[in-house]
Amino acid sequence: MALAEAGACRRLLLWPRVVLFGDSITEFSFQENGWGAALAERLVRKCDVVNRGLSGYNTRWAKLILPRLITKSTGAESIVAVTIFFGANDSALKDLNPKQHVPLEEYAANLKSMIQYLKSVDVTEDRIILITPPPLQESAWEKECLAKGDKLNRRNATTGEYAQACVQVARECGTDVLDLWTLMQKNQDFSSYLSDGLHLSTKGNSFLAAQLWSCLEKKLSALPSLFPYWRDVDHTNPEASLL
């Protein structure tokens, strides 16, 4: 009873949140050595890192579900950063993968729509980071497709067009952007960044984590650790330290 009464008279501590919104590359980011897990480790005791990755999704579907994930009534004000990481599925070739394919112009429009929605619930553009799809290693991905009885259903040059569109949207909307497609190809052989030609390897996850932290550090470096270090708690009067 005493605990319930104490809780009732004190406001719930609203933990800051970083929301990762994307496709399978985001969904898988909390696996061992994943980029999302690395980010969560860096930010432990400072904010929650929330994985909202949805394998196979494109921006057409993402645009529809974003208002079900982030609203004013579910604490949008506690969001300190949002990543929007789509394009690997949108850029699938229309003739060979019509279910996931989204035309280039619609892809750009969908990104803009999601940014506008976030702004409408008071997640300002300075807290939004767009991430382009990574490059596609065609020979490795073709093996994956052939194993499923399919033809190669993506092309790196096409993925690059979507990456360029993502960068342009960021410029027009005033958000940060991480151009993974370009950054990974600065190293001539980018295949080591990918596990199957499309998804990230351990090295690719590490690369993305480092690049993303460079974007986030200036936004999040001032966040304090929540609750005092245990040695600083007054053990004779813990209420004075913790409440």
Q: Which residues have a catalytic role annotated?
A: 24, 196, 199
Phi-psi region of 237 (alpha: psi -120 to 50; beta: other; left: phi over 0): beta
The number of beta carbons lying within 10 Å of the beta carbon of residue 46 is 18
Phi, psi of 84 (to 5 degrees): -115, 110
Largest CA distance in the chain: 70
End-to-end Cα spacing for the chain: 17
CA dist., res. 132 & res. 144, Å (int)? 22
The closest of 91, 95, 94 to 107, measured between CA atoms, is 91
CA dist., res. 38 & res. 161, Å (int)? 29
The number of beta carbons lying within 10 Å of the beta carbon of residue 138 is 17
Whole-Å CA distances, 119 to 29, 71, 165, 215, 228: 25, 11, 20, 19, 33
